[in-house]
Structure formats: structure tokens, C-alpha cells
Chains A and B, each alone.
Chain A
């Protein structure tokens, strides 16, 4: 029997972890009216689920990455990202954490992008942004953005590549926002209230309610701010950073997988 390759294991692991995490974000959408257990119990289990999922992907990455140089590159990018995030914090609508995740993930691949996204949020929380119950969810959402960016094909033309990255950044910024709003939705809006979810309602109905919640709470405004900042920063820095990172990739013995 042919053994599955390293990169195949990585890819499947990422896919399963991300698919599993979607339930932990968006469980109100799936909740039937005749659920056996209380919604709060589901919620508490999801709080426990997220760190476990992250830890499992981290372990897998650690088992696969055996070269210290690649960990060193990861460390530099996590540190840079976390620092940049803190520098950008405080100005509303500015979100500086994603451009580097997207650019680096497009150079180093999905697994790296996943760990970079999650690690950046973790380290920036540790060095000042504050650790809270939202952190594992933020980490996973950023990790999904990073893993997705790893799939962007590499273009010969630097401008085309930058354009692709910028194009990806827009839905990614809104996706991150939607996931985080989805997380606080059941926490802040009562089940069944005019903004909250309704157990057992159709997916369309609940998505509509979710959209209203996003609209009323101003979430979409933040997401737009995030998308604009990320696109602008990508356009400004992607050509230069891609070159610098590709050099590092060669020196650190990365082969893109």
C-alpha cells in the first residue's frame, strides 16, 4: 500500500480541523428546535473544543517540521506580525495583522499560514493585546485566513501575484469578521430575540438574522475597514516582501508543500 505523503497528511489535517471549527463558530445555525441539551452546554463545549483543535494542528505541524530554520522563520514572522498588530491597534477600522499573514502564507504554504495566523494572534495577545475567551476563536479565524492564502498560486509576474493576494484579502477580511461576529452572536443577542438566532429555523432565516446583527452592531463597517487596510498594505508591501521571504525560504530549506 503506498504511504500517504507528508503534504497530503498536512492538507487533510488542516481541512478536517477547519471544517470541525466551523461548527464551533456557527453552531447557532445548525441548532434544531428540539435539541436534547441546553444551548449553554453546547456553547461551553465549543469553548473547550477550539483550543483542542488548535493544539492538534500545532502538534501535527511540529511533527512534520523537523528543521529548526523553518521554526526560526516562523518565529520571526509571528513576532513581526504580533508587533505590527499592536502598533496598529487603537485606531478604529485599522487592522494590520492580515497582510503579512497572507503574503507569508502565499510564499510558505498553507500549513505554515495556519500556524502563522494562529501564532500571531496568540503572541500579540501575550505581549499586550490581552488574553480572553475570544482568543482561541480569533486564532482559528486568522489561521483559516492564513491556510487559505497558502492556496494562492504563485505567479511569475509580481504584479499579478500582488493582485491575486489583494483579491483574496477582501473576502478573507470579511470572512474573519463574520466568524468573530458569529462567535459573539449567541453570547450577546438572546436566542429568539429579533437580533438573535432561532433554534430550528431555516439556514436562510438564521443567516438573515445574522446579517441584521452584523449590520446593527456595525460589524460590517469594521470588516470593510479591515479589508481596505489589508488590501492597501498588500499593494504597498507584497512585491518587496515576497522577494525577501522567497530568499529566506531558499536559505531555510523550505520546499513549498
Chain B
């Protein structure tokens, strides 16, 4: 097979930082093959894709050494814009990442830039829409598409100009399992039928490893290792980059304090949601101190509605919720809680003392805060990793004493290591006497933390 992407001893870094993000990276990706790039968050997966796409360093700053060739051409010799007929690029955020108003205009964007005639454009738009399963939706505004449709639209827009290479940055992170499978099938057929070299950077490895042709693992320090799928999977497993099947059993440390039976929260026959179409239909559950309950269910099954009802944002239409102690919710976008310029400022603002012996309200908050300050107290909260941002939001919400802590999709955007750390933290919170309600679609994670699960799809468990 033809080698479409060739990286030869590539190093990349930013001048102001001494350390390299990529160091001596060599990789070849062939036409018709899917390559999976994995590594912990912040290990440089996105940077590697940006280098392949020719967006780094030109678009990002920084310096690059070594040889990069895509289809025999060095990206530096290309024109200012990208070349959509050579490289297709799908970046992380599909939602809100659209240029145009409607599906057809979004698909056509790349063709418009390279001057394809309107007649030819219409044909290609129709063919691509059919390929990614969006036929019949051409006139629809992009914001009305579902998450999976948006992801497929992003891919359609990236391949419409007929690139040799398709680069995807965490394409499955926002999708549920069936959506992810559809996406992988689509990528498979693109690679096979069109001979496109597909490169996926992803930390949700579990659903991908068996379906790719090669695995590249980015180690901390910026070096890259190449593996075939079988050996790659085991290395990734060793590196704790993936959950693996062995770990699926609930894993609770011996320091666990069992739920002591003191009632913290009780929900009885709760009905809430829209007037005529309640999302919650008479749900009941009990939660005692040091207890954790996992809420699962498909999108729209009422996970967020339940949390909003418990925290008191939403009035129940009928039924009752009683809580013993204070309730705090950590919303899905943890960064919404943050608005100051540094970690230290945020902590101080929440009255969390890191040093000194004065005991603050919550030892848990103090513990998280101390860890964050050790990492980098001066950092801007927006520059933190998703895991650190979540820890900061947790510390802030804990600081005012959260007897019952509600978490909405806490593992969004976390890699395996961060998820493990979060699970540890939450288990420690439980042993400190906090009760947890966690809404998530990450069953592996819930297994680590929750004592019970409630599914909102079926009648209550």
C-alpha cells in the first residue's frame, strides 16, 4: 500500500517551553488503513494531528524539525489555507464547530474554497450526503442535527473534496456506543473504498482497538511507539490507557466505609419535566450517608432532570424529595463555575485555605485544593486539563459543605488515568461521609464508584 503520510524524526515544541511535545517521531500511514493514535490527555495527540495537517507550527506557533510529507508534499510548501483535496481534518468539537447554516452549505464549504463549479458542487454534495447518511437533510440547519449526525456531517465536510488523508481528533468522545460503532463502520468503508489513510486520535480506546490496522502510542516525553493492533492493545492496557475487560468488576478499596444507613436523600414517586410529557415518571430512590448511586440511561431519559430536581432547581409536578444536609451539583461543563484568572484566586474566592492549620469547612475540598496548587497554582483555570478543571470545580462545590454531591457526566473528556483518579477521589469522599449521585453513561466508571445503579430507561431497578 502507498505510504500517504510520512513523518521522519519529527520534533515539535513551543519556544517558551523547554520540553518537546513530540520528540523524534517517525510514523508512516498507508492508504486504506486506519491508524489509532493513543496516549494520555495532554500527551500531544492533537499536536501530532496538527503537524500532519500542516496547521502546526504555522497556525499554532512553535518550532518543528524533521521531515513531514503528505502524499509526497511537504506541508510548509503549501499555500496559506489548507488543501481540502489533500487532507481532511475533523477537530474535537463538533457542536458549534460549523461554518454554515445548513447541511448542504456546510458540506460545500471546502469545495467553494477551491473553486469547484456550482453544478459539480451539487453533485458532490448529494453524493457525500448519501455516503455519510445525511441524504434528505440537506436543507436542515446544522444545529438541529443530533450529535451523531453532526459528527457525520463533520466527516462528510472533511472528505468532500476527495482528500488522501483523513485526520480525526477524538471523534467518538461525545457519542454513545451505537453512534461510535456507526462512525467506525463509516471510517472503515472510507478507508477501504476510497483508499483514504485514516488517523484517529482518541482516548476512548475500548471500542476502537479491535477495529484498526495499527496503533501508535504517544509516551509522555513525546516519543511515539508503533504497534500492530494486538500488541498495541496490550501495551495500552499496561500503560493504563484503556479500561480493559479485567477491570470491569467493581473495585473498591478496603478503606471503604460501608453506607451506615443514615438516610441522606429520599426521592419518592417523583414526576418532573415538561407539562404534558414528564421526563421523570414516578421515580423513587433512597440514598444513605456514604452511599453512591449511579444514574444511567440514554440521552433524554431524564438524568439531568433528576439532578436538577434534587438540587431544587426544578419543581416536581408530584411526588416528594427530602434531603438531609446540603446538596451541591457539579454541572456537566465544570468550567462554567470558574471565572477567575488563576487556580489560587478561585480557591481563595471559595474560602479554601491551602496552607496554614486553620481548619476549613471541608477536608475534602482542602485535599483537592492542595493537590491542585501543587500541580500549578498560578495556572489559568482554562489552561488546566479536563481532570484538573473538574477537581477545581469539585473543590469549590465541596468547600461550602456538600453532604450530598451530585455529578452530571463527570467523565466527559477525561482519559483513563484521569477517570481512575476521579474514582479514587470520589471513593475517598464517600468514606468522609459524603453521599454521591452520579449521572453518567460510563458504566466502567460507575462500577468503580457506585454502590448501586438506577436505570432511567427501564422501570426503576
Show the binding face of B for A, using Cβ within 8 Å: 59, 61, 80, 339, 341, 380, 382
A180 to B59, CA, bound (A): 41
Is there an interface contact between B382 and A247, defined as CB atoms closer than 8 Å?
Answer: yes
A240 to B342, CA, bound (A): 11
Residues from chain B with a CB closer than 8 A to the CB of A253 are 61
Is A243 engaged at the interface, CB distance under 8 Å to the other chain? yes
Is there an interface contact between B59 and A243, defined as CB atoms closer than 8 Å?
Answer: no
CB-defined A-B contacts under 8 Å, sample of 8: A66-B80, A69-B59, A240-B339, A240-B341, A243-B341, A247-B380, A247-B382, A253-B61
A13 to B339, CA, bound (A): 38
Residues from chain B with a CB closer than 8 A to the CB of A247 are 380, 382
Residues from chain B with a CB closer than 8 A to the CB of A243 are 341
- If over half of B's interface residues share one DSSP class (helix, strand or loop), that class is named, otherwise mixed; here it is loop
Nearest chain B CB to A30 CB, angstrom units: 45
A58 to B320, CA, bound (A): 60
Residues from chain B with a CB closer than 8 A to the CB of A69 are 59
Residues from chain B with a CB closer than 8 A to the CB of A240 are 339, 341
Residues from chain A with a CB closer than 8 A to the CB of B380 are 247
Within 8 A of B (CB), among A206-257: 240, 243, 247, 253
Nearest chain A CB to B16 CB, angstrom units: 10
* Chain A positions 60 through 92: 1 when the CB is less than 8 Å from some CB of chain B, otherwise 0: 000000100100000000000000000000000
User: Shortest 4 CB-CB distances between A and B: which pairs?
Assistant: A243-B341, A66-B80, A247-B380, A253-B61
A240 to B341, CA, bound (A): 8
A243 to B380, CA, bound (A): 10
Nearest chain B CB to A123 CB, angstrom units: 15
Interface residues on A, range: under 10
Chain A residue at minimal CB-CB distance from B81: A68
Residues from chain A with a CB closer than 8 A to the CB of B61 are 253
A66 to B59, CA, bound (A): 12
Nearest chain B CB to A248 CB, angstrom units: 10
Chain A residue at minimal CB-CB distance from B341: A243
A69 to B60, CA, bound (A): 10
Nearest chain A CB to B295 CB, angstrom units: 34
Residues from chain A with a CB closer than 8 A to the CB of B80 are 66
A253 to B339, CA, bound (A): 23
Chain B residue at minimal CB-CB distance from A239: B341
Residues from chain A with a CB closer than 8 A to the CB of B59 are 69
Chain A residue at minimal CB-CB distance from B383: A247
A232 to B277, CA, bound (A): 45
Nearest chain B CB to A70 CB, angstrom units: 12
A66 to B79, CA, bound (A): 12
A247 to B381, CA, bound (A): 12
Nearest chain B CB to A194 CB, angstrom units: 52
Nearest chain A CB to B197 CB, angstrom units: 25
Nearest chain A CB to B268 CB, angstrom units: 41
Nearest chain B CB to A215 CB, angstrom units: 42
A247 to B380, CA, bound (A): 10
List 6 additional A-B contacts (Cβ < 8 Å) besides A240-B341, A247-B382. Answer: A66-B80, A69-B59, A240-B339, A243-B341, A247-B380, A253-B61
A243 to B341, CA, bound (A): 7
Nearest chain B CB to A158 CB, angstrom units: 10
Nearest chain A CB to B50 CB, angstrom units: 13
Nearest chain B CB to A238 CB, angstrom units: 13
A66 to B339, CA, bound (A): 31
Nearest chain A CB to B190 CB, angstrom units: 26
Nearest chain B CB to A12 CB, angstrom units: 26
A247 to B341, CA, bound (A): 10
A253 to B56, CA, bound (A): 13
A128 to B59, CA, bound (A): 35
A28 to B341, CA, bound (A): 50
A69 to B81, CA, bound (A): 12
Nearest chain A CB to B172 CB, angstrom units: 26
Nearest chain B CB to A159 CB, angstrom units: 15
Nearest chain B CB to A157 CB, angstrom units: 15
A243 to B383, CA, bound (A): 13
Residues from chain A with a CB closer than 8 A to the CB of B341 are 240, 243
A69 to B380, CA, bound (A): 21
Chain B residue at minimal CB-CB distance from A66: B80
A253 to B60, CA, bound (A): 8
A66 to B81, CA, bound (A): 10
Nearest chain B CB to A239 CB, angstrom units: 9
Nearest chain A CB to B195 CB, angstrom units: 30
A126 to B2, CA, bound (A): 51
Nearest chain B CB to A74 CB, angstrom units: 15
Nearest chain A CB to B21 CB, angstrom units: 16
Nearest chain B CB to A254 CB, angstrom units: 12
Nearest chain B CB to A50 CB, angstrom units: 29
Nearest chain A CB to B448 CB, angstrom units: 35
Nearest chain B CB to A64 CB, angstrom units: 14
Chain B residue at minimal CB-CB distance from A253: B61
Nearest chain A CB to B101 CB, angstrom units: 14
